[in-house]
Amino acid sequence: MAVRGGLTETGRAVAAAFREEWGRVVATLIRMTGDWDLAEECAQEAFARALERWPRDGVPRRPGAWLTTTARNHALNRIRRGKTETAKLRELGTMADTSARPDQGGLPDDRLRLIYTCCHPALPVEARVALTLRTVLGLTTGEIARAFLVAEPAMAQRLVRAKRKIRQAGVPYRVPPAHLLAERTASVLGVVYLLFNEGYAATEGSDPVRSGLCGEAIRLARLLHDLAPDDPEVTGLLALLLLQHSRHAARTDGAGDLVALEDQDRSRWDRAAIAEGAALVDEALRRGEPGPYQVQAAIAACHGTARTAGETDWPQIAALYGRLEAMSPGPVVRLNRAVAVAMADGALAGLALVDRVEGLEGYHLLHATRADLLRRLGRREEAAAAYREALALSRADADRRYLARRLGEVRRAG
């Protein structure tokens, strides 16, 4: 949306309101009209009006309430002008200024409803992510398409189909009932984590939209944590994202190349985020219901709290990966555990585990890991062959430069 480019003070106020309020305005309008497209159009209209009015009248004291009221009035006019759907109109007509209405228990119910509906298991996984980005965060179809490297018309189709299924199949607009909450929350957490990873580990090329996805994922995780403070996996996910993102500034060098964890300038890590993440992990684990996000967050906390690479508690990390593998077995977890074991018990022990990982033959990091272990063991020719295999499979520019540099090193050393 154009509001993002605002340079004036009020432009910035609208942009800030967009980030903070978009999901809430859309969610409220969906509840009132039951019409997803109408809700988005009216929210857009409200922000467009804000760009017009706020420079003249000043930024309202409660921008969210102003935007919701404006969007609601616009919806009311639209419905009046169109074929009157009396039920909708009656509801809108009797609706007080809903933005001022305190939500039950202080929870922003509408936004939560929106997130859970976007992540309903009756929708395809890729549609859940796209729909969450579109309706909860207000990303444009073009931005979402770029983030997921698909053509814009294809992404538009995906969104249209998802909204059509919500309407035609009667997907309910609500937070699931208590007996379904845990499993549905798992789907929501999965979407948020996927979103974060899209920004964190760009799988291909380089695109500026992606770094923004990490921030948006953290925002969603915070929202969920506010809403479900007693769910330790929700706490675990927020901790994990904060801890991963704390290294953001140190992960790439001046040329945009990836810097390995051990080589990162730790003074550039975000200490506040690490402290918050580590405290959240402790809080979650004290509940005694460990889950995959909590364990991954605990691993990230081990890295984050080590003052130097040499002080990293690798035996602890290897043990945590062992727990993670027991909880959610998978070849990528096994590979990560192998790396930790290599650090704790030596490259040979790690290599033995790497060679037992199955199902990742086409994954460049498997070959890159083997290559690094072989290099550490002084088996340069095998290392070079593995680096070449990793290079052939890697599609992200930064990964490719890192691998090419390492390949050059083992060649020269040999």
Partner 1 sequence: MHYLMLICGNEEWEPSPAELAAVIADTEAWVKEMDGRGVRRFGDRLRPTGTATTVRVRDGETLLSDGPFAETKEQILGFDLIDCADLEEALDIASRHPSARLGSIEVRPLWPFGED
Q: Nearer to partner 1 by C-beta: 168 or 308? A: 168
Q: Nearer to partner 1 by C-beta: 24 or 120? A: 120
Determine the Cα–Cα distance for residues 369 and 373; give it in Å rounded to an integer. 6
CB of 169 vs partner 1, minimal distance in Å:
5
Q: Nearer to partner 1 by C-beta: 176 or 290? A: 176
CB of 170 vs partner 1, minimal distance in Å:
4
CB of 168 vs partner 1, minimal distance in Å:
6
Determine the Cα–Cα distance for residues 370 and 384; give it in Å rounded to an integer. 10
| Adjacent-strand bridge partners of 252 | 258
Q: Nearer to partner 1 by C-beta: 173 or 363? A: 173
Q: Residue 36 corresponds to which tokens in the numbers above?
A: 């997803």
**Rounded to 10 degrees, what is the CA torsion of 68, 69, 75, 81?**
-170
Read off the DSSP letter of residue 105.
G
| Adjacent-strand bridge partners of 258 | 252
The distance of Cα 358 from the centroid of its chain, to the nearest Å, equals: 28
CB 376 within 8 A of CB 354: no
Q: Residue 336 corresponds to which tokens in the numbers above?
A: 């990560």
Determine the Cα–Cα distance for residues 246 and 268; give it in Å rounded to an integer. 9
Q: Nearer to partner 1 by C-beta: 34 or 346? A: 34
Backbone angles phi, psi at 28, to 5 degrees: -65, -45
CB of 180 vs partner 1, minimal distance in Å:
8
Q: Nearer to partner 1 by C-beta: 165 or 388? A: 165
CB of 195 vs partner 1, minimal distance in Å:
25
Termini Cα distance of the chain: 54
CB of 246 vs partner 1, minimal distance in Å:
39
CA angle 284/319/406 to nearest 5° reads 110
Q: Nearer to partner 1 by C-beta: 169 or 272? A: 169
Determine the Cα–Cα distance for residues 205 and 207; give it in Å rounded to an integer. 7
CB of 173 vs partner 1, minimal distance in Å:
9
CB of 184 vs partner 1, minimal distance in Å:
10
Burial of 105 (0-12, 13-18, 19+ CB in 10 A): exposed
Q: Nearer to partner 1 by C-beta: 175 or 285? A: 175
Q: Nearer to partner 1 by C-beta: 116 or 200? A: 116
Residue numbers at the binding site for partner 1 (CB under 8 A): 122, 168-172, 176
Determine the Cα–Cα distance for residues 199 and 148; give it in Å rounded to an integer. 10
CB of 122 vs partner 1, minimal distance in Å:
6
Angular region, 318: left φ>0, alpha ψ -120 to 50, beta rest: alpha
Q: Nearer to partner 1 by C-beta: 169 or 348? A: 169
How many C-alpha atoms does 122 have within 13 Å on its Cβ side?
16
CB of 383 vs partner 1, minimal distance in Å:
48
Query: DSSP 3-state assignment of 252?
Result: strand
